[in-house]
Structure 1
Amino acid sequence: MLNFLIRRIAAGIATLFVALFLMFLLVDRAIDPLQDLFESTAPNKEQLIAQRIEDLNLDVNVVLRFFEWFGNLLTGDLGVAWRSGRPVSDILVSAFGSTLQLVSAATVLAVVLGVSVGIVSALRQYTSFDYLIIFLSFLLYSLPSFWVAVLLKQWAAIGFNDFLRDPVISWPAIIGVSLLVGLLWSLAIGGSAARRAQVFGVAAAANVALLAYIQLTDWWADPHIGPVLLAVLGAGTAFGVVAVFAGMHNRRALWTALTVVALGTVLYFPLQQLFKSLDVSNLLIVGLAVVCLVVGYVVGRLFGGPDWRLSARTGAAVAFVMGGLTFVDQVMQVWRPYFNALNGRPIPTFGDSTPNLGGNYWVQVLDSATHLVLPTATLVLIAFASYTRYSRSSMLEVMNQDYIRTARAKGLPERLVVVRHGFRNALIPLATVVPIDIIALLGGAIITEAVFARPGMGQMFVRSLTDAEIEPVMAYLLVTASLAILANIIADIVYATIDPRIRLDA
């Protein structure tokens, strides 16, 4: 492993240097810092041109200017944007932070939803659900991102903000949506006609109950989760995780998950006081998330058994979900003042924060979340289509392999065949695709950021090119090229982790 990392890092540094050199030459040819002065009608035009040439060292050979820039880079100096006078490092940090927020949310949602739906679609090959997912995937994949973004601004933001003036869902709408949800679940679960009818009834009834609860409790005006809903959602998560990854026959895993749900519900009340008494920060939240994972893992370990590692992983997963629901509940508690501060229109259509908003940590988190809703939804809808197609085709290929037929011939339950033998091997192609997609997005979703006026990496790159500022452009290229090299190294490591047949030190 160490030899592999040394070789790849050394090759990556050499590749990065060559790429930066070539890009410096190309960018220098593409931009003209003197263009605005050539078009100027100022009487001292020649003097201004001479002064700018001297300030920007434009009379020096471009190769020498590159090595001067590269030498400053080695000392940590990224230069100054000459039009604004701002240090490039400050511009880069601000833009990268905005893009990182967007990419983190969009990638996690797209991968989880896309892979899950793609796997189910593969397992239901040639059924109505499979055909529906294929049609939806190709439809979303063919849509231009700017068109999706504009539609979301119109219907998901403006429409939802208008809905909040009088948030009433009619009973015919509740019943219609619930019947559609029940139909989708029955198609996804499959099975005999009796089983599909049972799933349809349970899913439709659960959806009616949820929407009725939201409507009757005026949830739109005062959204919250609370201990009761936390326990219900946690129990549903526990049964779901155990059913998929351990099997309902594994009582130790089931009791581990339910114990974690009970602990999370009991700890809900002291956590409320803790959040009120402490100065909450991102570091504290990350620390509490780690504690959640450790507690869940320890609970599974205490239940013991020959397969205690499975119980421990189950407990950690359920604990993480319980912690996430508690965090979301705390953010929801500041909805009312945030709603009033934005004059009843809480879903913004541009920017990454509300100017001069103020408020505590939870208000800032809610503000960042509402600004992420539309651009994240745009990227998720497009990426969802790709990940669904990747995971479906990969799972179909895996399920036709000889070792899958052997596992079934040995009498293993279908859940074990799918989860332990099929799912893990189906992730191998995605291990190459996902890291590279993440880096591509970190370079800036230029169109999405432009539509939503989000000051991310993409907008920084376009603006710097327009202003003929080579230092910010090179800083952008430095980050994206470095991350691209890093993504390929990570992809190889993940690939070897998933598939033990691959040796990095070979």
Structure 2
Amino acid sequence: MIVYIIRRLLVAIPILIAASALAFVLVDTANDPVAEFTYQLQMASDGDEVSEDAIENFKKRMYLDRSMPERYWLWLTGIGGNGDIGLLKGEFGPSLEGPVADIGAELRERFFITMRLALAATILSFGLAIISGVISAVRQYHKIDYILTFVGFVALAMPTFWLAALIKESAIAFNKASGATWFYTIREASPGYDSMPFWEGMLDVIGHLILPTVTLMLVGYASVSRYQRASMLEVLNSDYVRLARAKGVRNRTVMRRHALRTALIPIATFAPLGVAGALSGAIITETIFSWRGLGTYFVESIIDGDSFAVMAFLLISGTLVILANLVSDLLYGLLDPRIRYE
């Protein structure tokens, strides 16, 4: 298995480089940082003409005086740069926010904020989807099956932005009606939570996590529950399950030892990818709930035309997708003994 993992990671390197090159071209051609910089200076100076020296200095700081292939090479290696660019050196490049802005520091701070949301939503959505999918399959065409199917389709039909806004506005209305703050509707934590006692700070973070997690959980739950129901029905109708029941094996044993494990095999492949999907959903959810995570950083970078910041987010997303695919393959092998990694 170790050899397989190493081989997959080595294969992922050229894939990631090719994806980053394509993303760099798209991001670079979609933005015009010089025009945005000139406009901002004109607004700050009440419409006065911007000097050519200021524009040239800006181009040099952002490496806009180089060709696109050279800029990508600089962004990748840092060779020939000013020490503030080069992935191999751990530098993501200069930011439009100014020389003091550090893209890497922003990413490190926001990454863990987003990942706790994505992980919590993925774990809860898959847990709920597996339970409801199994119940729907076992109680097929009963009332509980119809109810769970209806809930799943309703959640599947709801756009993420609308669902997040609905949950937020409902929580605000509930807080006003009760006269107390039962639900936190903005930010990932209260101001100064770092100075709180450990358990108090932990509860504060969990309280702020509830509403965004519920939003992403419902979005992920809808599709996975349908897959789990279909997979469980297929296993329950298979010959070996019928044979086990014909031999007099208890239904609980059949469900636990034979049916459930086999039915989980297709679902396990979706679990790591669910984290990557939750990361995409976090872009909208974090914006609605005003979180300082990767999602809002990505949106702000696009609005500002901050090319290197956008590239940093896309690189992290691509890396997570590749790692998620690797984990999916490994989980598939653990659940299916017929698969061997050589």
- Shared fold by TM > 0.5? yes
3-state SS of the aligned residue for 1:347?
coil
Between the two proteins, what is the percent identity of the paired residues? 39
Instruction: Compute the RMSD of aligned alpha carbons.
Output: 1.6
Rounded to whole Å, the distance in 1 between the matches of 2:173 and 2:192 is: 22
Alignment partner of 1:89 is 2:95? no
Find 1:464's aligned residue among 301, 307, 311.
301
The TM-score with structure 1 as length reference comes to 0.62
Residue pair 2:245, 2:251 contacting (<8 A) in 1 also: yes
Find 2:94's aligned residue among 68, 80, 88.
80
Residue pair 1:428, 1:495 contacting (<8 A) in 2 also: yes
Q: Paired residue for 1:6?
A: 6
Q: Give the Å deviation of 1:442.
A: 2.9
Find 1:66's aligned residue among 69, 72, 94.
72
Q: Paired residue for 1:418?
A: 255
Rounded to whole Å, the distance in 2 between the matches of 1:477 and 1:12 is: 15
Q: Paired residue for 2:191?
A: 355
Rounded to whole Å, the distance in 1 between the matches of 2:58 and 2:103 is: 19
Q: Deviations over 1:206-257 (max 9, x none)?
A: xxxxxxxxxxxxxxxxxxxxxxxxxxxxxxxxxxxxxxxxxxxxxxxxxxxx
Q: Who wins on radius of gyration, i.e. which is larger?
A: 1
**For structure 2, which runs of at least 5 residues remain unmatched after alignment?**
78-85
3-state SS of the aligned residue for 2:94?
coil
Q: Deviations over 1:370-402 (max 9, x none)?
A: 111111111112212112111111100111111
Rounded to whole Å, the distance in 2 between the matches of 1:375 and 1:88 is: 25
Find 2:60's aligned residue among 49, 54, 73.
54
Q: Deviations over 1:101-134 (max 9, x none)?
A: 1112211111111110110110000111111111
Q: Give the Å deviation of 1:160.
A: 4.1
**Structure 1 residues 444, 94: CA separation in 2 closer, same or farther (over 3 Å shift)?**
farther
Residue pair 2:38, 2:50 contacting (<8 A) in 1 also: no
Q: Paired residue for 2:181?
A: 345
- Name the count of aligned residue pairs: 326
Alignment partner of 1:104 is 2:119? yes
After superposition, residues 165-180 of structure 1 pair within 5 angstroms as 165=179
Find 2:138's aligned residue among 114, 123, 138.
123
Q: Paired residue for 2:17?
A: 17
Residue pair 2:94, 2:101 contacting (<8 A) in 1 also: yes
Find 2:233's aligned residue among 389, 392, 396.
396
**For structure 1, which runs of at least 5 residues remain unmatched after alignment?**
166-343
**Structure 1 residues 154, 466: CA separation in 2 closer, same or farther (over 3 Å shift)?**
closer
Q: Give the Å deviation of 1:137.
A: 0.7
**Structure 1 residues 114, 127: CA separation in 2 closer, same or farther (over 3 Å shift)?**
same
Rounded to whole Å, the distance in 2 between the matches of 1:18 and 1:75 is: 19
Alignment partner of 1:376 is 2:213? yes
The TM-score with structure 2 as length reference comes to 0.91
After superposition, residues 294-333 of structure 1 pair within 5 angstroms as none
Residue pair 1:435, 1:491 contacting (<8 A) in 2 also: yes
Q: Give the Å deviation of 1:423.
A: 0.5
Q: Give the Å deviation of 1:52.
A: 1.1
Find 2:321's aligned residue among 460, 471, 484.
484
Q: Paired residue for 1:158?
A: 173
Q: Paired residue for 2:290?
A: 453
Q: Give the Å deviation of 1:157.
A: 4.0
Q: Give the Å deviation of 1:94.
A: 1.6
